[in-house]
Amino acid sequence: MKFVQTNKAPSAIGPYSQAVVANGMVFTSGQIALTPEGVMLENDVVIQSKQVLKNLRAVLEEAGASMHSVIKTTIFLADMNDFVAVNEIYAEAFAEHKPARSTVAVKTLPKNALVEIDAIALVK
């Protein structure tokens, strides 16, 4: 088992790793719209979604994976009315690659984020 840490994504804000690699797979922790320096982006779901996916990409790459090796994602939304906007940004990030996915509405997210995404991917 390998614990993943990159300075190209925000550090964990609790007692957990950005990701863990085990048995040829990487399991990422949920990413929110913090910059690598730990600054929360403005309260706009499009801006936050882009940062979340940028963070996710950085963690995956540090683990030896990529957006195109993702098997499954989970999207957590503070407001299901943001589904269409997040879906558009998500589709751009994954292009033709279409991993399995769940989308869940939640009451609140860490730091009052609007969106959080985690992933499971194959390591190259």
Look at the domain 2-122 and name its fold.
60s Ribosomal Protein L30; Chain: A; (3.30.1330)
Kindly report the average pLDDT of the chain as a whole number. Answer: 97
Confirm if 77 and 83 have CB atoms less than 8 A apart: yes
Are the C-beta atoms of 83 and 103 separated by less than 8 Å? yes
pLDDT 10s digits, 20-71: 999 999 999 999 999 999 999 999 999 999 999 999 999 999 999 999 999 9
What are 88's strand-pairing partners?
none
| pTM across the whole model | 0.96
Domain boundaries, the chain: 2-122
